[in-house]
């Protein structure tokens, strides 16, 4: 879910988001015999710019959708993605080879169906890039009061234009975006430690009752019930490797 927009993608498919926006995801199909495996790759706008300049005259047409796009993964991408993952077994090679392979991946993405949306990252004055700078600010300052006028000025837009383009890129208003970031950060903290009231205040809420309502609306559980479930899950997952290690070291 990006905002209120659902994206369903499965084996062999890929999802590209133009800006760093809150995403809520759920694995709907996995088993011990067919586990879920995916890769998340962050793309540097400077790399996109360099590659577009390297091919003079190449500029994919502007995308119809500035939020996110889903396509089947181009077969040409399988090889570099596998080579990138294989570097985990050769850490000495990572500093030298990983940037080269990542650059190749971006080049192939630019020449795939993802090209039009990906190319928007290269243009500092494009709508996606300008909104991206404001979403980054909100992520870094999620507990601070939100000033729409200041954000619009940062994006070099009028307030009405900023509202329109922000929602086109994120599927949310700035206020909804900030709320989503706050709640996801609260959930992350609560899964480890902290009381509900202290965490609510730390992420910027002034009303505990409002925090509880918003949290339940997003995660379908109260903060206390969700926290208990998350901690129980983490405890089980952390317990399995320990049991395996104990079994492996048994003299039997």
241 vs 70, higher pLDDT: 70
Residue 36 lies in a domain: no
> In this structure, are 86 and 194 located in the same domain?
no
> In this structure, are 164 and 189 located in the same domain?
no
Residue 31 lies in a domain: no
> In this structure, are 98 and 158 located in the same domain?
yes
Q: What is the mean pLDDT of residues 37-47?
A: 86
Is pLDDT above 70 for 243? no
Structure tokens at 39: 């890769």
Residue 187 lies in a domain: yes
| Residues 59-77: tens digit of each pLDDT | 666 666 666 778 888 889 9
Residue-level pLDDT at 52? 84
Residue-level pLDDT at 96? 96
> In this structure, are 15 and 94 located in the same domain?
yes
Decide which of 172, 198, 230 is a domain's last residue: 172
Structure tokens at 201: 């205040």
Range of the domain at 239: 173-252
Q: Of all helices (H) and strands (E), which one includes residue 16?
A: strand 13-17
- 211 phi and psi, to 5 degrees? -60, -45
* Alpha carbons 178 and 174: distance in angstroms, whole number: 6
Residue 33 lies in a domain: no
Residue 214 lies in a domain: yes
Residue 86 lies in a domain: yes
> In this structure, are 89 and 64 located in the same domain?
yes
% of the chain beyond a pLDDT of 70:
86
Q: What is the mean pLDDT of the chain?
A: 83
> In this structure, are 12 and 46 located in the same domain?
yes
Decide which of 172, 200, 235 is a domain's last residue: 172
Structurally, the chain folds into a number of domains equal to: 2
Torsion region of 144: left, alpha or beta (phi above 0 gives left; psi -120 to 50 gives alpha): beta
* Alpha carbons 169 and 161: distance in angstroms, whole number: 12
* Alpha carbons 41 and 18: distance in angstroms, whole number: 12
Is pLDDT above 50 for 242? no
Residue-level pLDDT at 228? 87
| Residues 116-174: tens digit of each pLDDT | 888 877 765 677 778 888 988 999 999 999 999 999 998 899 999 999 888 888 888 99
Q: Which residues pair with 72 in a beta bridge?
A: 13
> In this structure, are 76 and 159 located in the same domain?
yes
- What sign results for the dihedral spanned by CA atoms 168, 24, 134, 129? negative
Residue-level pLDDT at 26? 80
> In this structure, are 148 and 248 located in the same domain?
no
- Which pTM does this prediction carry? 0.67
CATH number at residue 244: 1.10.10.60
Residue-level pLDDT at 244? 38
Cβ atoms within 10 Å of 95's Cβ, excluding its own = 9
Q: What is the mean pLDDT of residues 227-251?
A: 58
> In this structure, are 125 and 219 located in the same domain?
no
Residue 61 lies in a domain: yes
> In this structure, are 60 and 177 located in the same domain?
no
Residue-level pLDDT at 205? 95
The 3-state DSSP class for residue 140 equals helix
Residue 30 lies in a domain: no
> In this structure, are 63 and 150 located in the same domain?
yes
> In this structure, are 140 and 17 located in the same domain?
yes
CA-wise closest residue to 66 among 159, 171, 155: 171
């Amino acid at each position: 879910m990006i905002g209120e927009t659902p994206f369903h993608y499965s084996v062999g498919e890929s999802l590209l988001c133009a800006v760093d926006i809150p995403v809520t995801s759920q694995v709907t199909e996995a088993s011990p015999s067919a586990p879920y495996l995916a890769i998340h790759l962050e793309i540097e706008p400077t790399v996109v710019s360099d590659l577009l300049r390297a091919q003079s005259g190449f500029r994919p047409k502007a995308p119809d959708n500035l939020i996110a796009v889903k396509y089947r993964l181009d077969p040409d991408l399988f090889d570099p993605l596998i080579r990138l993952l294989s570097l985990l077994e050769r850490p000495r090679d990572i500093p030298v080879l990983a940037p080269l392979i990542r650059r190749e991946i971006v080049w192939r993405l630019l020449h795939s169906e993802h090209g039009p949306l990906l190319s928007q990252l290269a243009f500092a004055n494009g709508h996606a890039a300008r909104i991206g700078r404001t979403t980054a600010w909100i992520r870094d300052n999620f507990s601070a009061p939100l000033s729409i006028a200041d954000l619009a000025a940062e994006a070099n837009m009028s307030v009405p234009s900023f509202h329109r383009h922000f929602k086109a890129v994120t599927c949310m208003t700035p206020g909804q975006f900030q709320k989503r970031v706050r709640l996801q950060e609260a959930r992350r903290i609560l899964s480890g430690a902290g009381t509900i009231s202290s965490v609510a205040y730390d992420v910027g809420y002034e009303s505990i009752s409002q925090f509880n309502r918003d949290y339940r609306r997003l995660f379908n559980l109260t903060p206390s019930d969700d926290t208990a479930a998350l901690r129980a899950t983490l405890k089980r997952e952390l317990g399995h490797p320990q049991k395996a290690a104990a079994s492996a070291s048994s003299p039997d």
